[in-house]
């Protein structure tokens, strides 16, 4: 049988076929149809309600009746700068910065190894190992850390076995980072946060390092740069977008969390707890809204600074 | 084929029994070579023939498993790339995307601790040398392929290497740009008096640019010599087939066409197509053959014909020669000296 005599069935003209024809010819219509539902969700339900809530920060609360006075005022926003409130902001940003720095330091070598040296099998194991902690309950992990950090806990016991009990004591005696035990100190809080958010730093840094072409590293060496210089002048700048992406996760997740500080750390409030108490028991929605603005502003500032220092030059 | 006797001057690059194996793959399998200072040396071969690995061995990206490598008399085994006075122009240029064109060119000076003012001046000069003056502030992504190529060249030359290594640098350019860059590279090399080691799989490029060509196959150098010699007198079947095209003749066939009774090569353009009424030229072997295939290639026609003895010959005849068609019987003349005996098998 020759090709000419081969009979194909004619495709049937149906309504689906005609719809396809229209969509193929009008790519814009297709894009619109695909985007309208998610845009409605993000635009109205998500961003809309967020802005309605944040908008409350220009109102104030009547001290006596506890009712919201719906007249525009800057009083509520200025209240953020009262020492007690501003301390909450500083404390939270400090913890978030420490967590981000620690996550970066821990994540970089791991991500570097996975991106540049690990074979396919090791890499699969790497992904599993990084992701697995995310599969167990957040609360279980936090309470687990409370036990680890407690005065009679595993970390104290291990430090004792290694003869480091004195060092631990000295650390806990330090102002700010110290405390009666690790589980009620900022150190403990930062360690727990670092554990919780580490995967969110490793994965973007690893992805960024994986995109650094190996021949750029060879080219830098070829031009006379020793490995340390290659790292500083080529690898690090090219990995920066990944570090910033990871930092966005670790920073904002820490800024918004209100459960870890309740279980581990000092009795002083952080932003999340402040918002939680203000909108709940205190019923002070305007101030809660004002506090909620802080992480958004902090993140905006962070991204601006990152951009200024050229973190996105490699994008 | 052995490397020629070492020249009296210290060679720019010398390989002695160099081996580099990757698992069971013998990427470089016992290479001896000697590159003269100031020479344009082409390493020609198909992909996987070991030419790029040899270049990487010179640059220091690979270390030999056996043998010795010297750069201007200095043994370099174990020396990392940043301690070698050679620089590389990479196949895909490997420009730093986060740095401007000027910063890319100045990179090698910066890591050597040259001050900002001085290195910016040198980078400007280097860019002017490759005809990119005024492009300092652009990003590599804003440049065309040919311009990136020039930046890569300026970046490697600005640090004054003793040997410049070029890894298929023209492969990604279109034909016209490639021809332009070929003559520019050659001109630069002459002006600087620098040794260029040029890796390519394009035999035309190697023949037209190089002072000497080393033909690689399966991890070894099968022939090394000036382009004319490699083309006119291919040492092996492989060279005859890879560098240009050739009729490869068995000993008996070679003898019948006026050559020695040895495996031989016969370049298609040496064969003359005799017009129907032309007399037989003296001193040439004449074969009567039936045309099997004819293809028109612009400047020439390629005629494949089969003689009564079963011998197949491909001739490249001027396109202006009288047209022949498949099935015609033609007479082909093989001039004296056109059949070149080959030394080895490989």
Q: What pLDDT score was predicted for residue B319?
A: 82
Is the confidence at residue A304, as pLDDT, over 80? yes
Residue A146: how many CB atoms within 10 A of its CB?
Answer: 18
Q: Is any Cβ of chain A less than 8 angstroms from the Cβ of B89?
A: no
Name the residue among B97, B98, B108 with its Cβ closest to that of A223: B108
Global confidence as pTM: 0.82
- CB neighbours of B85 closer than 8 A, spacing ≥ 6? B71, B72, B161, B162, B163
CATH 3.40.50.300 fits B13-242, yes or no: yes
Distance in angstroms (rounded) separating the CA atoms of residues B198 and B211: 11
Does position A313 have pLDDT exceeding 80, yes or no?
no
| Chain B residue nearest residue A237, CA to CA | B98
DSSP state of B140: G
Helices (H), chain B: 51-59, 101-110, 116-129, 145-157, 175-192, 203-209, 227-232, 237-242, 251-256
Yes or no: say if A166 and A238 are a contact pair by the CB < 8 Å rule.
Answer: no
Q: What is the pLDDT of residue B279?
A: 85
* CA atoms within a 13 Å half-sphere pointing along the CA-CB vector of A168: 23
Q: Does A214 touch chain B (CB under 8 A)?
A: no
Instruction: Compute the nearest-CA separation of B54 from chain A (Å).
Output: 15
Angstrom distance (rounded) from CA B339 to CA B233: 9
Per DSSP, chain B holds a count of helices (H) and strands (E) of 9, 18
A261, A255 contact by CB (below 8 A)? no
Closest by Cα among B256, B339, B8, B40 to B163? B40
A168 touches chain B (CB under 8 A): no
Answer yes or no: do A225 and B107 touch at CB < 8 A. Answer: yes
Q: What is the pLDDT of residues B74-89, one digit of tens each?
A: 999 889 999 999 999 9
| A153 lies within 8 A of chain B by CB | no
Q: Which residues make Cβ contacts (< 8 Å) with residue A124, sequence separation at least 6?
A: none
* Euclidean distance between CA atoms A246 and A112, whole angstroms: 14
Q: Does B107 touch chain A if contact means CB atoms closer than 8 Å?
A: yes
Best A223, A226, A310 member to test B by mutation, with max B CBs in 10 Å, is A223
Helix (H, G, I), strand (E, B) or coil at B10: coil
Closest Cβ–Cβ partner in B81, B97, B112 for A222:
B81
Residue B317 CA to residue A53 CA, distance in Å, equals 86
The mean predicted confidence, pLDDT, of chain B is 91
The Cα B324–Cα B305 span in angstroms is 11
Rg over CA atoms, chain A: 27
Q: Does domain B249-341 sit in CATH 3.30.420.280?
A: no
Number of A to B CB contacts under 8 A, please give it. 64
pLDDT tops 70 at residue B168: yes
The position carrying tokens 């004449």 is B286
Q: Hey, how many other C-beta atoms are within 10 angstroms of the C-beta on B251?
A: 14
Q: How far is A287 from chain B (nearest CA, A)?
A: 43
Chain B residues touching A233 at Cβ < 8 A: 107, 110-111
String of DSSP letters for B262-296: S-EEE-GGG-EEEPTTPPPPTTSEEEEEEEEEEEE
In chain A, what residues touch B97 (CB-CB under 8 Å)? Answer: 238, 314
- B218 at A interface, C-beta within 8 A: no
Say which residue the tokens 């001896």 belong to: B32
Position B175 scores a pLDDT of 86
Maximal CA-CA distance, chain A:
96
Domain boundaries, chain B: 13-242, 249-341
Banded model confidence at residue A148, pLDDT cuts 50, 70, 90: very high
Q: Which residues of A touch B87 (CB under 8 A)?
A: 222-223
Of A60-69, A79-88, A149-158, B219-228, the poorest mean pLDDT is in A60-69
Cβ–Cβ below 8 Å for A221 and B107: no
CATH fold for the domain made of A83-308 = MetI-like fold (1.10.3720)
Cα separation, B231 vs B203, in Å, equals: 10
Task: Write down the pLDDT at residue A4.
Answer: 66
B327 touches B294 (CB < 8 A): no
User: Which residues of chain B are within 8 Å of residue A229 when distances are taken between CB atoms?
Assistant: 111
Mean pLDDT of B229-239: 93
8 Å CB contact between B237 and B345: yes
3-state SS class at A4: helix
Distance from CA of B117 to the nearest CA of A (A): 19
Within 8 A of B90 by CB-CB distance, chain A residues are 215, 218-219
């Amino acid at each position: 049988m020759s090709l000419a005599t081969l009979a194909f069935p004619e495709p049937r003209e149906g309504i689906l076929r005609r719809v396809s024809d229209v969509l193929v010819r009008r790519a814009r219509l297709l894009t619109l149809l695909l985007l309208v539902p998610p845009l409605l969700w993000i635009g109205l339900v998500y961003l809309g309600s967020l802005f309605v809530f944040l908008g409350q920060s220009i109102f104030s609360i009547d001290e006596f009746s506890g009712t919201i006075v719906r007249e525009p005022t800057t009083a509520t926003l200025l209240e953020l700068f009262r020492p007690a409130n501003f301390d909450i902001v500083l404390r939270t940003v400090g913890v978030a910065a420490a967590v981000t720095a620690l996550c970066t330091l821990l994540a970089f070598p791991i991500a570097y190894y996975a991106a540049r040296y690990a074979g396919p099998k090791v890499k699969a194991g790497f992904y599993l190992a990084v992701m697995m902690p995310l599969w167990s309950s957040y609360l279980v992990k936090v309470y687990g850390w409370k036990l680890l950090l407690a005065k009679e806990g595993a970390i104290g016991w291990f430090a004792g076995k290694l003869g480091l009990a004195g060092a631990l004591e000295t650390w806990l005696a330090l102002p700010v980072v110290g405390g009666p035990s690790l589980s009620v100190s900022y150190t403990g809080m930062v360690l727990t946060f670092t554990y919780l958010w580490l995967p969110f730093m490793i994965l973007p840094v690893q992805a960024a390092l994986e995109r650094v072409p190996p021949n750029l590293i060879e080219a830098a060496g070829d031009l006379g740069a020793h490995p340390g210089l290659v790292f500083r002048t080529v690898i690090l700048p090219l990995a920066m977008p990944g570090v910033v992406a990871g930092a966005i996760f670790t920073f904002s997740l820490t800024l918004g969390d209100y459960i870890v500080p309740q279980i581990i750390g000092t009795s002083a409030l952080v932003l999340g707890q402040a918002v939680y108490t203000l909108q709940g028991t205190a019923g002070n929605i305007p101030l809660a809204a004002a506090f909620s603005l802080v992480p958004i502003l902090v993140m905006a500032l962070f991204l601006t600074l990152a951009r200024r220092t050229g973190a996105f030059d490699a994008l | 084929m052995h490397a020629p006797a070492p020249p009296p001057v210290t060679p720019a690059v010398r390989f002695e029994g160099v081996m580099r194996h990757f698992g069971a793959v013998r990427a470089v399998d016992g290479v001896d070579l000697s590159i003269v200072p100031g020479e344009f040396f082409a390493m020609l071969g198909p992909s996987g023939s070991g030419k790029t690995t040899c270049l990487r061995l010179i640059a220091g990206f690979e270390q030999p498993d056996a043998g010795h490598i010297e750069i201007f008399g200095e043994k370099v085994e174990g020396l990392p790339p940043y301690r070698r006075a050679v620089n590389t122009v990479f196949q895909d240029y490997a420009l730093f995307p986060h740095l401007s064109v000027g910063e890319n060119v100045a990179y090698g000076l910066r890591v050597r601790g040259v001050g900002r003012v001085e290195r910016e001046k040198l980078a400007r000069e280097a860019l002017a040398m490759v005809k990119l003056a005024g492009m300092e502030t652009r990003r590599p992504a804003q440049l065309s392929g040919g311009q990136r190529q020039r930046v890569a060249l300026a970046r490697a030359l600005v640090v004054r290497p003793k040997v410049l290594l070029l890894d298929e640098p023209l492969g990604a350019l279109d034909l016209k740009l490639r021809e332009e860059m070929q003559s520019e590279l050659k001109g630069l090399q002459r002006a600087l008096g620098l040794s260029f080691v040029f890796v390519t799989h394009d035999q035309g490029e190697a023949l037209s640019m190089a002072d000497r060509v080393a033909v690689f196959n399966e991890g070894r150098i099968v022939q090394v010599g000036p382009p004319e010699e490699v083309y006119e007198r291919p040492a092996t079947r492989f060279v005859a087939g890879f560098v240009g095209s050739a009729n490869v003749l068995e000993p008996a066939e070679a003898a019948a066409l006026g050559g020695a009774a040895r495996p031989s090569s016969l370049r298609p353009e040496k064969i003359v197509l005799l017009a129907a009424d032309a007399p037989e030229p003296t001193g040439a072997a004449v074969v009567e053959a039936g045309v099997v295939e004819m293809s028109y290639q612009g400047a020439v026609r390629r005629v494949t014909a089969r003689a009564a003895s079963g011998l197949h010959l491909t001739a490249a005849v001027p396109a202006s020669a009288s047209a022949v068609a498949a099935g015609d019987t033609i007479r082909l003349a093989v001039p004296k000296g056109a059949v070149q005996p080959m030394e080895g098998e490989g």
